[in-house]
Amino acid sequence: MKNNLNIGKVASVRGSVVDIWFQENLPEIDTLLLAGKENQIKIEVFNQLNTTHVRGIALTPTQGLARGMAVTSTGKELLVPVGKTILGRMFDVFGNPIDQKEAPKEVTLKSIHQSPPPLSKRATKSEIFLTGIKAIDVLIPLERGGKAGLFGGAGVGKTVLLTEIIHNMVGHDDGISMFCGIGERCREGNELYNTMKNEDLLKDMVLLFGQMNEPPGARFRVGHAALTMAEYFRDEEHRDVLLLIDNIFRFIQAGMEVSGLMGQMPSRLGYQPTMATELAELQERIAYTDTRAITSIQAVYVPADDLTDPAAVHTFSHLSASIALSRKKASEGLYPSIDLLQSNSKMTSPEIIGKKHYKLSQKIRETLAQYEELKDIIAMLGMEQLSVKDRNVVNRARKLERFLTQPFFATEQFSGIKGKQVSLEDALDGCERILADEFKDYPESAFYMIGSIDEAKKPENKNLKSEEKMHKIDTNKEEATTQEPAVNP
């Protein structure tokens, strides 16, 4: 890249799209240009129109920009600070602190445009990434160095689940948590920052935000900036990084806006024709290398809850685990509101998670699937019309559903229930004992919002247990009297 000072002039301004004339030394693609008062307006070169003109997309508002104004080419791409001192801080896409503190010292500047690690440097082994959340660890195990998607419409709990995973991960494996907010509301960013500060979790975190009101260029690049910071901790500091992206759909949406501004022909449902390439450029940088791993969990807003939307379909192809959040589960108060049958993970194989865990997860899925099939019969005819075998399946499934709920640290102030982190061994033990009918006589309510299975044996459940047992004896007596007498041969 050219390092000499290169000055051009604004030829035209159309919203965030700026055409700039240069007499010579035409800036390269992705070069950062500075314009306006005190160089406050930052423009990234998008394409070269001819031998004298480039077209750029503004990363900041373009108010005050006029034809004929001077534009300085930095000769470099957009740079962000990396180093140990960025921990505990909150930045914008340019690496400027937005937490009302001084800029971090002892940092080096690095370009946001980096190549993904080559295949020769990637790890070939598969490892499980534990979250401390029962439903995820048992049925949808996440891959260390992989990408997991949280799919769901608005208001089903994507951000709450991400916040809980951050809480459970701090101090885990000497790791770093990195939160990247793409198109976030300022309220959500403020809440997250204060929550992390109050919980004393900021010391091992970096927060990066491209707010909803910022130009599409800034929202489009904030993901790349976050990955550059994450790659520093993985490659230079040799630490595991948990990268949380909220929301990857907003990245695609920002790309769609940039594409429209640049006059590109839209593809299906108005999405940009380059969506697959742009998403791959971001996702391929998230990897488990021979140093350490970047593990990513991404919230994916699904427009109108339609999983066949191109944004959801393209994102699916990059993921090793898909966690589908259900509005129906949320309305029933079953949190985390994960649709356990719609969710899946490529890690669920006996070679990776072990034969015992695999068989148990298949048995749980089978029980829940049978219950799903019986729901229509129950709705029309009631539980009484089911066979004893089917009734047992329903009881097991309903207890499993409730056992796989969990009180979150992130929601303590709202629910008044103390958050719990559950080990994989305790979660598997609980599911196994429910399927073995050890808790057949316990009420369903005993399993709701508990940690390990032994919490279901609280003293207050004893009375309910005996009442339910008496009811079962009466029901069995009625069944015995209604059966036809055996005919002697």
Residues that are catalytic = 158, 184-185
CA distance 183 to 213: 8
**How does pLDDT run across 386-438, given as a tens digit for each residue?**
999 999 999 999 999 999 999 998 888 888 899 999 999 999 999 999 999 99
- What mean pLDDT is reported for the chain? 89
**pLDDT for the residue 234:** 94
**How does pLDDT run across 80-126, given as a tens digit for each residue?**
999 999 999 999 999 999 999 999 999 999 999 999 999 999 998 88
CA distance 386 to 367: 15
**How does pLDDT run across 295-318, given as a tens digit for each residue?**
999 988 888 888 889 998 999 999
The closest alpha carbon to 439, from 422, 417, 464, 419, belongs to: 464
**pLDDT for the residue 362:** 97
**How does pLDDT run across 351-389, given as a tens digit for each residue?**
999 999 999 999 999 999 999 999 999 999 888 889 999
Residue 171 pLDDT greater than 80, yes or no = no
Question: What predicted TM-score, i.e. pTM, was given to this entire model?
Answer: 0.85
Q: Among all chains, which residue has been given the structure tokens 């040799």?
A: 238
